[in-house]
Amino acid sequence: MLFDRSETGLESLAASLLGTANIRIGGNRPWDICIHEKGFYQRVLRHGSIGLGESYVDGWWDAEHLDEFFERLLAAKLDEKVRSRWIDLWQKSESMLLNRQGRSRAADNSIQHYDRGSVLYQAMLDSRMVYSCGYWKNASSLEQAQEAKLDLICRKLQLTPRMRVLDIGCGWGGLARYAAESYQVNVTGITVSPQQCEFARQTCKGLPVDIRLMDYRELTGTYDRVVSVGMFEHVGSKNHRTYMEVVSRCLSPEGLLLLQSIGGSETSDSIDPWIDKYIFPGAVLPSIKQIGASAENMLVMEDWHSFGPDYDRTLMAWFENFDRSWPELRVHFDDRFYRTWKYYLLSCAATFRVRKNQLWQIVFSKGRRGVYTACR
Alpha-carbon distance of 167 to 183, in angstroms, equals 15
Alpha-carbon distance of 310 to 302, in angstroms, equals 22
| Per-residue b or e along 233-265, where b marks 16 or more CB atoms closer than 10 Å to that residue's CB | bbbbbbbbbebbbbbbebbbeebbbbbbbbbbe
User: For the CA atoms of the chain, what is the radius of gyration?
Assistant: 22
Which are the contacts of 176, defined by CB distance < 8 A and separation ≥ 6? 165, 167, 170, 187, 189, 200, 204, 207, 209, 211
Q: What are phi and psi of 291, to 5 degrees?
A: -65, -45
pTM, 2 dp: 0.91
Of 34, 250, 348, 375, which residue is the catalytic one?
Answer: 348
Q: Angle formed by the axes of helices 335-353 and 40-57, to 10°? A: 100
376 residues of the chain, pLDDT tens digit each: 444 556 678 888 899 999 999 999 999 999 999 999 989 999 998 889 999 999 999 999 999 999 999 999 999 999 887 654 444 544 444 445 445 556 655 555 656 677 677 899 999 999 999 999 999 999 999 999 999 999 999 999 999 999 999 999 999 999 999 999 999 999 999 999 999 999 999 999 999 999 999 999 999 999 999 999 999 999 999 999 999 999 999 999 999 999 999 999 999 888 999 999 999 998 999 999 999 999 999 999 999 999 999 999 999 999 999 999 999 999 999 999 999 999 999 999 999 999 999 999 999 999 999 999 998 7
In angstroms, the Cα distances linking 275 to 65, 100, 283, 312, 323 are 19, 15, 9, 17, 20
What domains does the chain contain, in order, with CATH numbers? 7-83 (no CATH), 104-365 (3.40.50.150)
Is residue 250 among the annotated active site residues? no
Instruction: Give the number of other CB atoms < 10 A from CB of residue 104.
Output: 9
